[in-house]
């Protein structure tokens, strides 16, 4: 029954789908820690290089077209964006600012590091982070930076490959294995990788289940 579903049973997959395609609302943006919402419910955060497909995947998870804004411009989205899922609210999705712009000014990068570090270290309601990696590129040094921060903050995280439709199945298998290898020795990383495509819906039901698992 669980074959091909990342270890999640049909019931868990369906429960996660029902929750996440139900009521979802933008709560607020936090450019600095003072703007964080009160930690009243569990949170699940999404991180990734700019253009990795984070907005598209967040939208696919909640089955909306434009909840998270796509195509972020360099240096613009330096906020944490909070979305509330469920009515009454069951948990929050947190869209972390994209990283890895080659041309990003030093002060922008510094501000990003501070915001992320402070959030990761101080947020007890944070259940898990998902770190998105473009399946065409694999793990890059900037991805290593965010994983270092997560490991140091002892926030558990799971790697999600994006845009899996853009490569051949054999290449996806190779990248998945290489990515699992790259995180094997990392203290807070989940050993199993989830491959997704927002375009084709691949892996989206399983990722929903993994999100719900992180807050229960
Ligand atoms: P973000 O900067 O990480 O939020 O990335 P976006 O979600 O804005 O996506 C960046 C680009 O990749 C856009 O042109 C998307 O249409 C494209 N994209 C995102 N996800 C997928 C996917 O699963 N498959 C394909 N083929 N393209 C994707």
User: Which domains does the chain carry?
Assistant: 10-214 (3.40.50.300)
Tell me the average pLDDT across 97-116: 84
Taking the CA of residue 71 as reference, the ligand 1 atom at the shortest distance is 8
Tell me the average pLDDT across 2-25: 87
Instruction: List the end-to-end C-alpha distance of the chain, in Å, as a whole number.
Output: 22
pLDDT above 90 covers what percent of the chain?
80
Bridge partners of residue 48, in order along the sequence: 132
Q: Kindly state if the Cβ of 52 falls inside 6 Å of ligand 1.
A: yes
Taking the CA of residue 202 as reference, the ligand 1 atom at the shortest distance is 23
The percent of the chain in helix, strand and coil, each rounded to the nearest 5, is 40, 20, 40
- pTM (predicted TM-score): 0.95
Q: Please state the φ and ψ torsions of residue 172, each to the nearest 5 degrees.
A: -65, -40
Average model confidence (pLDDT) for the chain? Answer: 92
Quickly list H helices, 123-203: 141-153, 169-183
Q: Please report the pLDDT score of residue 67 as a whole number.
A: 81
The predicted-structure confidence for 119-150, as pLDDT tens digits, reads as follows: 999 899 999 999 999 999 999 999 999 999 99
- Strand pairing category for 24-30 and 80-85: antiparallel
Q: Atom 9 of ligand 1 has which residue's CA nearest to it?
A: 53
Q: Kindly state if the Cβ of 62 falls inside 6 Å of ligand 1.
A: no
Tell me the average pLDDT across 99-120: 86
- Name the residue of 53, 198, 207 whose CB sits within 8 Å of the most ligand 1 atoms, as the mutation to test its pocket: 53
Q: Quick check: 73 pLDDT over 80?
A: no
Q: Kindly state if the Cβ of 54 falls inside 6 Å of ligand 1.
A: yes
Q: Quick check: 1 pLDDT over 80?
A: no
Q: Please report the pLDDT score of residue 76 as a whole number.
A: 52
Q: Please, which contacts does 102-106 make with residues 24 or more away whose CB atoms are closer than 8 Å? A: 103/74, 104/74, 104/75, 105/75
Q: Kindly state if the Cβ of 176 falls inside 6 Å of ligand 1.
A: no
């Amino acid at each position: 029954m669980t074959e091909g579903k990342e270890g999640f049973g049909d019931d868990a997959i369906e429960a996660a789908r029902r929750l996440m395609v139900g009521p979802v609302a933008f709560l607020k943006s936090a450019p600095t820690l003072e703007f964080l919402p009160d930690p009243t419910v569990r949170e699940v955060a999404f991180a990734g290089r700019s253009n990795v497909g984070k907005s598209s995947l967040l939208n696919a998870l909640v089955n909306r077209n434009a909840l998270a804004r796509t195509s972020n411009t360099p240096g613009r989205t330096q906020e944490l964006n909070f979305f509330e899922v469920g009515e009454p609210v069951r948990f929050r999705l947190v869209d972390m600012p994209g990283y890895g712009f080659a041309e990003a000014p030093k002060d922008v990068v510094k501000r990003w590091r501070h915001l992320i570090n402070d959030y990761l270290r101080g947020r007890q309601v944070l259940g898990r982070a998902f770190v998105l990696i473009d399946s065409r590129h694999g793990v890059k040094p900037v991805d290593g930076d965010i994983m270092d921060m997560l490991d140091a903050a002892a926030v558990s995280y799971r790697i999600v490959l994006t845009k899996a439709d853009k490569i051949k199945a054999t290449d996806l298998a190779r990248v998945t294995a290489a990515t699992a290898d790259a995180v094997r020795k990392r203290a807070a990383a989940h050993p199993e990788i989830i491959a997704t495509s927002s375009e084709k819906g691949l892996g989206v039901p399983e990722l929903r289940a993994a999100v719900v698992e992180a807050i229960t």
